[in-house]
Chains A and B, each alone.
Chain A
C-alpha cells in the first residue's frame, strides 16, 4: 500500500522540479498567498460534553468551513504544563498562528508563559481579563455577557414554576457564576417577586455525582425549574427531567437530552469572537485584545423555546430580549440587596454590562437561598 503513495509523491516532486526551473519565484508567491491560516483550538474537557467545551467545538466546526482556515484541535487538555506543550506543539508542529485556548485556567500562568516566546502567534483566550500593560500584546481575552440569557431563563422559569421555588446547581462561588445565579434570580423575581432560588455549589466544574445529588436534593425541597453553571449540564438536565421537573439550559442546547422538560437555555455563540480574531489575523490587523459582548453583539443566544412554554411567557421574555439588544435594559441597577440584607447596588445606580465591578461580584442577591 505504500507504493502508490510513493509513486504519487515522486511524480509530485518531479513536477515540482520542472516547475521550479521555470516558475520558481512565481509559484513561491502563489504558495504564500494560498497558505491557510492554521488555528488551534484547545478544550479542557470532551468536545461532546453538551456544555462548555461543546459550545466551543461548535464554533470551531463553523470555523473549519471558512475559506483559508485550517483547524487543529485537542480535547481533555489539563491546566498543567500539558497545555503549554499543546500550545507550543500547535505552533511548532502544526504551524498555528492563532490559538484559542478556551479554558479559564489556561491563561495564568500558561498563556502568559508561552505567548512572550512566540511573538508572531496570536492567543485568544476565553474568559480571562486581559489587562493593558500587564499582559502580552499578542494575547487577548474574549467573553460573553451570558447573564443576559440567564435573566431571560429566569423570566421563563417564573412563568413555569408552580411552587415558586427555582433552583441553580453551580460549580464554584466565583464572580462569573455568582453573576449568573443573580441574573437568573433577578429575572424570575422581575415577574413574580415572591420566588426564591435555591443554590447548591458542587465545588468543581465537573462533578457528575455531586451534580446529580444536588439536583435530587433541590427537587426534594420542592424546586421545579432548574438551571446550572457547571461545565457539562447533561447530568443536571437529565436528572431534573427524570424527576419530572423543568430545566433551562446553559452553555449549549441540551434540548435533545430532555425535549419534554427543556424550556429554553442560555447558549454561547463563540463564532462571533472567533471570527473577529481570525479576520484580524488574516488581514494583519492588530490582535483584538479585549472582546466582550452580549445578545446585542451576538456573543450569546437563547435556545429555542420548548413546546410547553406559553405564549405569555415567550412574549414577555422576547420583549426584554429586544430591549437588551437595543441596549436599553440593564440587569444590575437601582437598589439591589444581597441575601443578607446589605445594599450592593444603591438606588439610582446602574451597572452597565461593561462595568468591571460586575466581574468582581462576590454576593448573592435577595431571594437566593444559599451562601457564596
Chain B
C-alpha cells in the first residue's frame, strides 16, 4: 500500500511541480499563469471534445511506449520504435496492395497482423545484434530506425507508389471496408482500445505468467537468470519481438484509421514520444495507459494554448521537458527513507535535494 502510494504520488508531485514551474516561466513572458493552467486543463480534459482529442492523440503512444517498455523489462533499452512503426504501416499498406484481402474486419485484422509482424522482426533484429554480435541495442535500434525510414521512403516513392499521388507520394489506399472507424460515432478510433488492451494484457503477462516473470528475472539480473537455467537470449528476443509488434501495430492502425495509405506523414515522431511515455511509466505496461493519456492531453492542451493565448508551439514542449526532467529527478526521492527523515535526522535531509539537483542536468542532457 505504502509502495503503491509512492508509485503514484511521486509522478503526480513531479507533474504538479512542472506545472508550477511552467506557470512561472509564462508569467515572465507576460502571460497570466492562471489563465494558462485553466486553458491547459480545458484543452485536455475540459469537455467531451477535449477528451476525444486527448484520447485520440494517446492511442498510438500506448503502442509505441510498449515497444520501449517490454524490451526494458528484459534489460534492453530500445529507442528505435519509430522504425518499427513506419515499417508496420508500410507492411500493412503493402499487403493490402499485393494480395486481394476481404474488405471487412478480417482484412483489417490481416493488415494489422502484417504490421505487427514487420515491427516485431525489426526490433528482434536489434535484439539479435546485441545477443549475437555484441552491438549496443540502444544505438543499433536508433540507427535501424533511420534505415527503416529510408526503406519506407524508397518504397513509397518508388515501387509501391500510387501514380495518382502526384505531390504527396503515397501507396494505394486501403479498401474502404478495411478502414478502422470511430468508437460509437466518436472521433476516437478503435486503435485506442487496441492500445489499452495491449497495455493491460501485456501488463498481466509480465505480472502473472511464468514466461512474463522469466522476462523480468532476465531483465533484473541476466547472470542469475542463466544460473537458474532460463533461456535468456530467447526471452530477450521474445520481449523485443512483442515490443516491436506493438509499434508495428501502431503503424498499421495509423494507416487503417487515419491515413488510409502509407505516406511520409506517418513519420510523425510517435516512436520517439513513446520513449518518454515508457520511461515516465517506469516501463510498467499498465502505467503506460494513464501516462499516454497525459501526453495526449499535453498535445490537445498545447493546441488550445496556441489558439487561445497565442503562445508558440514550443511552450508545450517546454512543459513536457520540465515534466520529464522532474519525473526522472523524482526517482532520486524514491530511495529516501521518509521515516528516518521524520525521526529528525536533519543533516541527512540535505542529501535528497542534492540528489535531485544532480539528476536534473543529467536528465536534461538526455533530452
Contacts and interface: CB of A to CB of B under 8 A. Distances in A.
B61 to A, nearest CB: 12
Contacts, number: 91
Interface string B319-347: 00000000000000000000000000000
Contacts of B306: 73-75
Nearest to A72: B307
Contacts of B310: 73
Interface string A302-319: 000000000000000000
* Interface size classification for chain A: 35 or more
Contact of A105 (B166, B168, B303): B168
B260 interface: yes
B200 interface: no
A69 interface: no
Given A85-B303, A109-B260, A175-B167, A80 B49 contact: no
A94 B42 CA distance: 13
Nearest to A94: B307
Contacts of B169: 172, 174
A224 B49 CA distance: 54
Interface string B145-169: 0000000010001000000001111
* Interface size classification for chain B: 35 or more
A89 B258 contact: no
A78 B57 contact: no
Interface in A42-60: 46-47
B6 to A, nearest CB: 34
B265 A81 contact: no
Contact of A360 (B56, B166, B312): B166
A203 B153 contact: yes
A245 B38 CA distance: 51
Main DSSP-derived SS at the B contact region: helix
Given A73-B307, A85-B303, A109 B53 contact: no
Contacts of A339: none
A174 to B, nearest CB: 5
Interface in A85-111: 85-86, 88-90, 92-94, 104-105, 108-109
Interface string A241-283: 0000000000000000000000000000000000000000000
A89 B52 CA distance: 11
B168 A108 contact: yes
B90 to A, nearest CB: 16
A10 interface: no
Interface string B40-53: 00000000010011
Nearest to B53: A85
B303 A86 contact: yes
Contacts of B269: 78
B269 to A, nearest CB: 8
A153 interface: no
Contact of B268 (A80, A172, A174): A80
B116 to A, nearest CB: 20
A191 B312 CA distance: 45
A74 B305 CA distance: 9
A64 B319 CA distance: 28
A127 interface: yes
A105 B263 contact: yes
A174 B258 CA distance: 23
B57 A85 contact: yes
Given A89-B53, A92-B49, A80 B254 contact: yes
Interface of A: 2, 40, 46-47, 72-82, 84-86, 88-90, 92-94, 104-105, 108-109, 127, 129, 172-176, 203-204, 359-360
Given A78-B268, A104-B167, A105-B265, 10 more contacts: A74-B307, A80-B254, A81-B189, A82-B57, A88-B187, A93-B304, A105-B264, A172-B169, A173-B157, A204-B264
Q: Which 7 A-B pairs rank lowest in CB-CB distance, beginning with the nearest? A: A79-B265, A76-B313, A72-B307, A78-B268, A74-B306, A174-B167, A85-B53
